[in-house]
Copies of this chain bind each other. A is one copy, B any other.
Amino acid sequence: MESSDVNTEKRIMEAARVVFLRKGMEGSRMQEIADEAGINKALLHYYFRSKERLFEAIFRETLQQAVPDFTSILGEDIPIFRKIELFTERYNEMLRRNPLIPGFVIHELNRSPQRVAGMIKGSGINPAAFIRQILDEIDRGEVRPLNPLHLMVNMIALCVFPFVARPIMQHIFFDDDEAGYNEFISERNEEVASFINNSIRNR
């Protein structure tokens, strides 16, 4: 019994994840999630009392999955230019597996900014080490003088944006050709890293 218990909860979570990420909290219907999970609507309320709670669970899980993935690398002991390559590579990889996360988070962020922002902060993000490294490299003359915070924002922006704006870009630039867009995305792996490194390298 317990095995089916665990499986069902997992199935519900997966189904809810699919629906919520695509349609957001208000846009999603409990019935739709039940259908997606192949179960009864009453069972949703049996496992997660309310839509609110189910959503909370999904949102928390999504953040915990997404944030550490790209944060961790920033604190490791790697030469700066190589670190930036690794960061964009891993971050892009994560986004390629979960392309809907950014849009999802952003939308919920508009609904209740303080709550979401708090959850993200609690997710263990720590820019301090990276900032220190950048300042060091500037001292050593490897990196041109710049504000490390802007650099961090730039790095994230360059990775995230193509996923957030995918439908526009795919339509305007690629005439709705999905394969073409995927090709474009995989090019960005290297493109973004060299774009950043070219910009910050001192000469």
**A195, closest chain B residue (CB):** B199
The one of B157, B187, B191 in contact with A162, judged by C-beta atoms closer than 8 angstroms, is: B157
Chain B residues lying within 8 Å of A157, measured Cβ to Cβ, are: 157-158, 160-162
0/1 string, A98-113, CB within 8 A of B gives 1: 0010010111011101
CB-based contact A121/B169 at 8 Å: no
A147 on the interface (CB 8 Å rule)? yes
Interface of A with B (CB < 8 Å)? 22-24, 26-27, 100, 103, 105-107, 109-111, 113-114, 116-118, 120-121, 125, 127, 144, 146-147, 149-150, 153-154, 156-158, 160-162, 164-165, 167-173, 176, 184, 187-188, 191-192, 195-196, 198-200, 203
Counting from the closest, the 10 A-B pairs by CB-CB distance are A157-B161, A117-B171, A199-B199, A113-B167, A26-B26, A198-B199, A26-B27, A107-B107, A109-B167, A157-B157
